[in-house]
C-alpha cells in the first residue's frame, strides 16, 4: 500500500531538477549527467522501497526525509568520486553501496524514533565509513594504487560546501563587489541540516556523553547495552534490526547509539565488559552446534596478534573459568564450559586486538 501524500517518482524528479543548478561548474557533461542520474536513480529506488514497505508504517514526511537524505548524500559522494580520480567503471557499485547503507541505517533509526540530529550524525558516520571501505576494497584488489586511494578518501564535497556557506556569510554587507547569489532553498542541502520531521511515539532520552570512557560505576544495565552494541557491530544490518526488535524501544535506541561510536572498544573497560558478556552468555539458550575446535582456533589466532603481556593483563582479573578457557585454548584444548559463553569470550578477545 502506497504512503498517502508521498509520490516518490515526482519527488525524485524534483530533487534531480534542483541538483542541476548546483552541480560543480567545472564538470564536463558526462560528469554532470552522472551526478544527476545517480541522485535520481538512487532516490527513486529508495522512495519505491519505502512506499512498498508494509511493516515500518512511515508517514509521508518521514519517507520524504529519508529519500531526501539519500538524494543529498548521492549528490555529495558522486561529486567526491568524480574529483577522486577513481575510474568511472567503479562509480556505480560504490554509490549503490552508500545508498544501501543510508537506507538501512535510516530505517533502523526512524523505527527506533531516535532524535533527528542523532539520525543525521549516524548516517553521516556510516556514509563516510561505507565510502572509505569501498575505496579501500578497490586498493586491496589492486584495482587502484595506494596514492589514488589516499586521494579519494580525502574528498569531502559536503565539507567544502559548508565552508563555502560560512565564508559567504562572513562577507561584509558593505563590500562593493557583488556577492554570489545563494542557491535555491529547495536545492539539495547538506544532510547535516535536513528539515525536522515529527516524531511518532516516545523519543528516547538525551544521548549519553560518549566523549568520555565508560567507567565501572556506570549502571549495570547500561554496561549490558554497551556490550550488546559491541557484539552487534559485527552483525549484518538486517540481523541487527531483527535482534533489536526484541528490545524495549529506549534500550534499542541506546544500543544503536553506541554501535556507531568510533573506537567503542577503547572507551570500555575490557575486564568489566568481559564479565558482562559472560553473564549475558549464561542467560542465552544453550548452543547445540557450536564448533568448539573453531572457538579454540579463534582464540589462538587472536592471541597471535596480541602482545602476550596485554593478553595476560586482560584475563588475570577475570573469573577462573574465563582464564582457564583462554589459556587452555592457547594450548589447543577446549575448557569444558558453555560453548555460547566461550563464543562470547572469543568475540570479545577479537574486538580487543
Q: Tell me how far apart the alpha carbons of residues 81 and 159 are, in angstroms, rounded to a whole number.
A: 15
- Whether the pTM exceeds 0.75: the reply is no
Report the pLDDT value the prediction gives residue 277, as an integer from 0 to 100.
65
Q: How many residues does the chain have?
A: 353
Q: Torsions phi, psi of 268, nearest 5?
A: -115, 140
The grid coordinates listed for 232 are 552487534
Residues in the chain with pLDDT values less than 70: 1, 165-221, 223, 234-239, 241-242, 245-246, 249-250, 260, 262, 267-291, 351-353
Burial class (CB in 10 A: 0-12, 13-18, 19+), 148: middle
How high is the pLDDT of residue 353? 61
What pLDDT, on the 0 to 100 scale, is given for residue 313?
80
Angle at 100 between CA 2 and CA 93, to 5 degrees: 125
The pLDDT assigned to 237 comes to 60
The closest of 221, 218, 341 to 278, measured between CA atoms, is 341
Nearest to 87 by CA among 31, 144, 33, 129: 144
Amino acid at each position: 500500500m502506497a504512503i498517502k501524500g508521498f509520490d516518490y517518482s515526482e519527488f525524485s524528479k524534483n530533487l534531480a531538477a534542483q541538483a542541476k543548478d548546483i552541480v560543480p561548474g567545472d564538470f564536463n557533461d558526462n560528469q554532470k549527467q552522472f551526478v544527476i542520474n545517480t541522485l535520481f536513480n538512487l532516490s527513486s529506488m529508495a522512495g519505491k522501497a519505502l512506499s512498498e514497505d508494509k511493516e515500518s508504517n512511515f508517514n509521508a514526511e518521514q519517507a520524504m526525509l529519508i529519500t531526501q537524505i539519500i538524494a543529498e548524500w548521492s549528490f555529495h559522494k558522486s561529486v567526491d568520486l568524480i574529483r577522486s580520480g577513481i575510474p568511472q567503471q567503479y562509480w556505480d557499485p560504490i554509490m549503490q553501496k552508500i545508498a544501501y547503507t543510508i537506507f538501512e541505517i535510516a530505517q533502523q533509526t526512524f523505527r527506533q524514533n531516535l532524535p533527528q540530529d542523532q539520525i543525521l550524525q549516524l548516517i553521516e558516520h556510516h556514509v563516510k565509513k561505507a565510502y572509505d571501505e569501498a575505496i579501500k576494497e578497490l586498493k586491496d584488489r589492486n584495482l587502484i594504487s595506494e596514492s589514488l586511494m589516499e586521494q579519494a578518501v580525502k574528498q569531502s564535497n559536503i565539507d567544502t560546501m559548508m565552508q563555502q556557506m560560512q565564508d559567504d556569510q562572513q562577507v561584509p554587507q558593505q563590500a562593493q563587489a557583488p556577492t554570489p547569489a545563494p542557491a535555491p532553498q529547495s536545492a539539495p542541502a547538506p544532510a547535516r541540516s535536513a528539515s525536522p520531521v515529527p516524531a511518532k511515539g516516545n523519543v528516547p532520552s538525551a544521548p549519553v556523553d560518549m566523549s568520555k570512557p565508560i567507567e565501572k560505576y556506570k549502571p549495570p544495565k547500561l554496561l549490558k547495552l554497551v556490550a550488546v552494541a559491541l557484539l552487534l557491530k559485527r552483525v549484518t544490518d538486517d540481523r541487527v534490526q531483527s535482534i533489536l526488535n526484541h528490545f524495549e524501544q529506549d534500550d534499542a535506541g541506546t544500543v544503536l547509539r553506541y554501535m556507531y561510536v568510533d573506537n567503542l572498544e577503547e572507551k570500555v573497560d575490557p575486564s568489566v565488559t568481559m564479565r558482562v558478556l559472560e553473564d549475558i552468555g549464561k542467560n542465552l539458550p544453550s548452543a547445540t552446534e557450536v564448533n568448539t575446535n573453531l572457538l579454540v582456533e579463534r582464540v589462538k589466532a587472536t592471541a597471535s596478534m596480541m602482545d602476550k603481556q596485554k593478553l595476560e593483563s586482560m584475563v588475570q582479573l577475570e573469573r577462573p573459568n574465563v582464564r582457564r578457557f583462554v589459556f587452555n585454548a592457547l594450548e589447543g584444548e577446549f575448557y569444558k564450559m558453555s560453548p555460547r559463553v566461550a563464543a562470547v569470550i572469543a568475540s570479545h578477545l577479537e574486538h580487543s586486538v
